[in-house]
Amino acid sequence: MAKKDELTVLIADDHPLVREALHRALDVEEDMKVVAEASDGEEAVKLASELKPDVVVMDIVMPKVNGIEATRKIKEIAPDTAILILTAYDDEEYVLGLLDAGAAGYLLKSARGRDLVGAIRAIRAGESVLHPNIIARLLKRATVTAVKENKTQGLLSERESEVLRLVALGMSNKEVAEELFLSQRTVKAHLTNVFNKLNVASRSEAIVKGLQWGLVTLENTEDKLRG
């Protein structure tokens, strides 16, 4: 049983040695608990549905159901669960596809254990684990439909929208706080409200959904940059 303040983690990878190494890297952290391991995508979906972990560390190439499809299914079943992808590929189009599926971010398999721990904490703290180049690509390819604009009109407060736009520029919570003359605690509270209203579990998902729903556009972020 996880303690109240512990981050619960599900590891999904088809290689036992990889799962063991990841489990070992997280086990030494006092604020984290690995609640289960999955050896394929189908099992990952089942366990995530049952356990509702805070974070799933997900491999991509797995039997039965691949990591991308498993990510989509988990986000439908457990939207509050954030998914951190572990991949050997860093092609931008590939990563953008992962984000469209609902991933909160990604790490290359060459990353060290401390990088994984840091990424998990960053996701739950509302920080980004995406390279700025990826965010820029997301902005450039964003398209908005009138239906989505109508659906989301007034969904976020003016301040929440402003915070989301700054986050989409790649700013950290600290940078957003300095830009808006707010405390970091207040920025985090606004981000939590954004996450709840968009039904997402991470900063990256909020950016993607904000782009998809027209809450963040290339035009309004460029205006902010010029300002």
Has this prediction a pTM greater than 0.85?
Answer: no
Question: What was the pLDDT predicted at 56?
Answer: 95
For 88-126, the three-class secondary structure string (H helix, E strand, C coil) is CCCCHHHHHHHHHCCCCEEEECCCCHHHHHHHHHHHHCC
The Cα 226–Cα 222 span in angstroms is 6
Domain 136-226 classification at class level: mainly alpha
> What's the pLDDT band for 145 if we cut at 50, 70, 90?
very low
Q: How far apart are CA 155 and CA 147, in angstroms?
A: 14
For residue range 53-64, list pLDDT tens digits in order: 999 999 988 889
Asked whether the predicted pLDDT for residue 81 surpasses 90, the reply is: yes
- Is pLDDT above 50 for 86? yes
pLDDT at 139: 63
Residue 221 has pLDDT above 90, yes or no: no
**Mind listing the pLDDT tens digit for each residue in 117-131?**
998 998 887 777 776
Higher pLDDT, 15 or 100: 15
- Most confidently predicted of 108-112, 163-167, 169-173: 163-167
Whether residue 146 is predicted with pLDDT greater than 80 in this model: the reply is no
CATH T-level fold of 7-124? Rossmann fold (3.40.50)
Q: Could you give the residue range(s) of every CATH 1.10.10.10 domain in the chain?
A: 136-226
Tell me, what's the pLDDT at 168?
83
Indicate where the chain has its CATH 3.40.50.2300 domain(s).
Answer: 7-124
Please give the residue that has the higher pLDDT: either 108 or 17.
Answer: 17
